[in-house]
Amino acid sequence: MTEPVVVCARCRAMAARQPLTWSTMLDRDGGLLLVCDSCTRAHLRAMEAQLDEEFW
Ligand SMILES: [Zn+2]
């Protein structure tokens, strides 16, 4: 049986399961994306800079 693996939607970092420091966000199709802690911080900075969502 394969261990469940989560993958960061941005940098493709992988973890055996979702770490508490990772966050979730919705993609344009309403699907759930996981974002690792470092990308979450980068994303928050991007949001503060009001970059277009297409940046993702
Ligand atoms: Zn990441």
For residues 47 and 53, give the distance between their C-alpha atoms in angstroms, rounded to a whole number. Answer: 9
38, part of any domain: yes
Residue 29 lies in a domain: yes
**For residue 1, is it within any domain?**
no
In a domain, 44, yes or no: yes
Instruction: List the domain range (segments joined by +) for residue 13.
Output: 6-55
Residue 46 lies inside a defined structural domain of this protein? yes
Interval between CA 28 and ligand 1 midpoint (Å): 18
- Ligand 1: centre distance to CA 37 (Å): 7
Q: How far is the CA of 55 from the centre of ligand 1 (A)?
A: 15
When comparing pLDDT for 47 and 32, which is higher? 32
Cα(1) to ligand 1 centroid in Å equals 26
pTM reported for the whole predicted model: 0.66
Stronger pLDDT, 17 or 11, i.e. the higher one: 11
Number of domains in the chain: 1
Give the C-alpha separation, 34 to 13, whole Å.
Answer: 10
Q: How far is the CA of 22 from the centre of ligand 1 (A)?
A: 9
